[in-house]
Chains A and B, each alone.
Chain A
Amino acid sequence: MHVAVRSVVDIAPSAPEDVCILDLEASTEHLLVATARHADAMYAVVEPYGTSLETGRRVALLARDLGLPRVALIANKVRGEQDMEAVAEYATANEIELAGAIPYDESFLEADRAGLAPLDYEPGARGVRAIHELAPRLLSG
């Protein structure tokens, strides 16, 4: 399955108007990074606290070792200035790019409960707006 996914990512169209986005498994870090080896970038979604940041760091370093051109963290569920500072400090201390931050947004949980996509549940939610703002920054560089 991983070999198949890796191969598909390798042949995915890469014209400027094409985006191939891969949702990797949460565990088995070595395997997941190997699956994404043909990608242009890997983003590790982290929550602004210790174990989540540590997982993000490990994944980022593995991806970097594998030669992915861009490796960065995306901070999620950020609940204020203090969270933001903690993530930014962690990224700087570990020399990992912080691509952006998404605020904690209750509507994502509500969307999940309602069985809807966050975008359909509340298209103007601040989390959705933050993701939209982040989107072009993920394709450049």
Chain B
Amino acid sequence: MAGKGGAGKTSITGTLARLFAQDGYRVLAIDNDLNPNLFLALGLPAERMRDLPTFPAEIVRQVNGGYELTMSLDEICADCSLAAPDGVTLLVAAQPKQAGTG
């Protein structure tokens, strides 16, 4: 899902993810926004902002001019995913930007 800021991309993504899950799909939601708000649109409480697990840089390494993952998806999910309502699994790519924390 792409779009200009404010177009409602994240609200739609979060709502779609929950509805797919309610309809019986296994849903993996990935937040790749530098201002990660998908967790809110999925229905996780705002307090979770402080402890959002994000991808560690070590999950990819460079090989032969390309990249490969150093962990399986199950390992990545076990290490750094969040369980959202309706059984949605959330992965957050970027750390939220907070003043003073870099």
Contacts and interface: CB of A to CB of B under 8 A. Distances in A.
Interface of A: 1-5, 7-9, 11-13, 17-27, 29, 32-33, 35-36, 42-47, 51-52, 55-56, 59, 63, 74, 76-77, 102, 108, 111-112, 115-120, 127-128, 131-132, 134-135, 138
Contact of A11 (B33, B40, B73): B73
B67 A19 contact: no
Interface of B: 1-20, 23-34, 38, 40-43, 45-46, 55, 57, 59-60, 67-69, 72-73, 76, 85, 91, 93-94
Contact of A1 (B6, B10, B46, B93): B93
Nearest to B10: A23
Contacts of B68: 7
Contacts of B73: 8, 11-13
Contacts, number: 187
Contacts of A36: 2
B59 A4 contact: yes
A135 B23 contact: yes
Given A44-B3, A46-B7, A23 B19 contact: no
B7 A47 contact: yes
A102 B11 CA distance: 12
Nearest to B89: A20
A24 B32 contact: yes
A8 B7 contact: no
Contacts of B29: 20-23
Contacts of B59: 4, 7-8
A19 B25 contact: yes
Given A12-B73, A138-B16, A5 B93 contact: yes
A56 B1 CA distance: 11
B4 A26 contact: yes
A51 B60 CA distance: 36
Contact of A131 (B3, B15, B46, B69): B15
B23 A59 contact: no
A56 B8 CA distance: 13
Nearest to B68: A7
A22 B12 contact: no
A22 B67 contact: no
Contact of B40 (A13, A18, A43, A117): A117
